[in-house]
Structure 1
Amino acid sequence: MTDMDGAQQGSRPLVVVTGGLGRVATVVLPWLRKQYRVRLVDRAVPHDGVDELVQADVGDPEAAHEVLSGAHALVHLAGNSSPWQSWDSVYAANVWPTQVVLEAAAAHAVPKIVLASSLHVSGEYNRPQYRPVDPRLDPRPCCPYGLGKVVLEALGRTHADRTGASVTCLRFGLTGWAPSERRYLAQWLSDDDAGRLMLAALQARERFGVHFGVSANTRNYWDITSGRHELGYHPEDDSEALADRAGPSSGPVCRLFDPQSSD
């Protein structure tokens, strides 16, 4: 890196990304680098790379406070995304770390926070009579994982009310994978659209908002109007281009894919 490159990096706002070596972080990182300095935080062993990488567990209050020093924004992606978890696991892996990292963000007066939520918050609405599902509907989670994300969103709203920070919750669909089964076509979020969505969320100044994170899919099950209008999210991809390669369902997951959903 040249001195000029270093100066340009230093002048950019710093975004801290928890779960920094995870699937979603890997997808959005090229987009973040366009506008931000990036500090990746993960429990995994650091590797060599162009970004600042800190090995830390954000469920540890001291560690969370340290990694958020100097941050202009927080993207909280850390957690366990398995729908088969027990509530105890969800609390330990998803709820508690969110509470801790938000308390650290409050201590540092971080003005912008993006929280990774999930379609599972609204999983019981994945039925023909509700489509496209409105993100303003009361949560109806389909599994303990979805319930944990309901709590995450509530923690985010409380944080926004208490601190005045701007908090955006993104209910991600299938991110970082091609839709190998037909039931995933409606909830697919392409890599490029994930980057567009993340940048839009970071630049939004809403006090608190919840938006679905899917592409401009022909199978319009999840309403992304709020993301378009309130965040300025402009998706360009459509899972229908991949439909010929999507096979039948491989087995039960949770009630997000209840037989009534007709996926």
Structure 2
Amino acid sequence: MDALRNDREKPLLVITGGLGRVGTALRPYLRRHHRLRLVDTATGAEPEPDVDIRHADIGDPDAAYEVFGGASAILHLAGDADPRHGWEEVFAANVRPMPVLLRAAAARAVPKIVLASSLHVAGEHNRPEFWPVSPRLDPRPCCAYGLSKVVVESLGRSHAERTGASVTCLRLGLTAWPLTERRYLGMWLSDGDAARLAHAALRSREPFGVHFGVSANSRKHWDTTSARTELGYRPQDDSEQYAGTAGPGGAPTCRLFDDSPDLRMRGMT
């Protein structure tokens, strides 16, 4: 009975795209601190004890308003994260739902929103002369996906300034994905560190912030100083343990890993 009462007293966290790859990796850690409501367009999910699963499209105003009821925070993971996709695809999945989500969050007076962004926002900075890349540099997206996240971050900033809600954008690296290629060693974010980062961001009450999300990798390609000092993020893992087993990379899907002038940004040119 005491355990049930304690669970009911936890703040309610709504995770959009909660049944996806990243949401699945984060849930075991986040449920220690929150009651979880998972919102996804996917169907057929197995019920989980004490987890509220809603089949809904957060691009629908009525659905978004309904699922955000009672939320203390929103962790927005839903969207298209494929850098091979063109602008029309990523716009429909990543940009078009954002005004609906933010209006519903404002109507429900949700005080905290964490938006999943991406290193691809700064992909053109992923060159040795910029390492470790600072999140304070101007965005230089390497693909249509990265550009869509630039827009998401801008909408998040506008929402924070307009409503007073705290909005944190996390530019996530390689998350909830096997580290099979050496080119990913500098951008790896372990499942454990991803959960620690998300929890730190959810606890923060910064007015607005943008931070890189990678582990404590020996190959310091992305500067996590702001996440450490402003959010209290304490990464514990290092991709170097996989350096001996990670294989060569395949053909680049965008300019995150290739600065050749003839590699066009898909859907952007």
Match of 2:131 in 1: 131
Structure 1, residues 49-97: CA drift from partner, whole Å, max 9, x if none? 1211000011111101100000000000000100011111111101112
Which residue identity lines up with residue 116 of structure 1 in the other structure?
A
SS in 1 for 2:114: strand
Shift of 1:259: 5.0
**Of 12, 15, 26, which aligns to 1:14?**
12
Shift of 1:98: 2.0
Which residue identity lines up with residue 171 of structure 2 in the other structure?
R
Distance of 1:255 and 1:13 partners within structure 2? 40
Distance of 1:135 and 1:95 partners within structure 2? 21
Match of 1:80 in 2: 80
Distance of 1:169 and 1:227 partners within structure 2? 10
Match of 1:233 in 2: 233
Distance of 2:220 and 2:61 partners within structure 1? 41
Match of 1:32 in 2: 30
Which residue identity lines up with residue 10 of structure 1 in the other structure?
R
Which residue identity lines up with residue 102 of structure 1 in the other structure?
L
Shift of 1:23: 0.9
Query: What's the TM-score, normalizing by structure 2?
Result: 0.94
Distance of 1:255 and 1:121 partners within structure 2? 11
Which residue identity lines up with residue 142 of structure 1 in the other structure?
C
Matched, 1:245 2:245: yes
> Which has the larger helix fraction?
1
Match of 1:160 in 2: 160
SS in 2 for 1:210: strand
Match of 1:23 in 2: 21
Match of 1:98 in 2: 98
Shift of 1:174: 0.3
Distance of 1:100 and 1:30 partners within structure 2? 28
Match of 2:267 in 1: none
Distance of 2:85 and 2:245 partners within structure 1? 29
Match of 1:47 in 2: 46
Match of 1:182 in 2: 182
Matched, 1:224 2:224: yes
Match of 2:263 in 1: none
Shift of 1:178: 2.5
Which residue identity lines up with residue 19 of structure 2 in the other structure?
L
Distance of 2:46 and 2:3 partners within structure 1? 21
Structure 1, residues 159-217: CA drift from partner, whole Å, max 9, x if none? 00000000000000000023100000000000100011011000011000000010000
SS in 2 for 1:218: coil
Match of 2:204 in 1: 204
What percentage of aligned pairs have identical amino acids? 61
Which residue identity lines up with residue 31 of structure 1 in the other structure?
Y
SS in 2 for 1:212: strand
SS in 2 for 1:257: coil
Q: Which runs of 5+ in 2 are unaligned?
A: 261-269
Structure 1, residues 8-48: CA drift from partner, whole Å, max 9, x if none? 11111000000010111111111111110000000011421
Which residue identity lines up with residue 131 of structure 1 in the other structure?
W
Query: What's the TM-score, normalizing by structure 1?
Result: 0.96
Q: Which runs of 5+ in 1 are unaligned?
A: none
Structure 1, residues 103-145: CA drift from partner, whole Å, max 9, x if none? 1101101000000000000000000111100001100000000
Distance of 1:178 and 1:224 partners within structure 2? 21
Greater mean deviation of Cα atoms: 41-50 or 20-29: 41-50
Distance of 1:208 and 1:7 partners within structure 2? 33
Shift of 1:245: 0.9
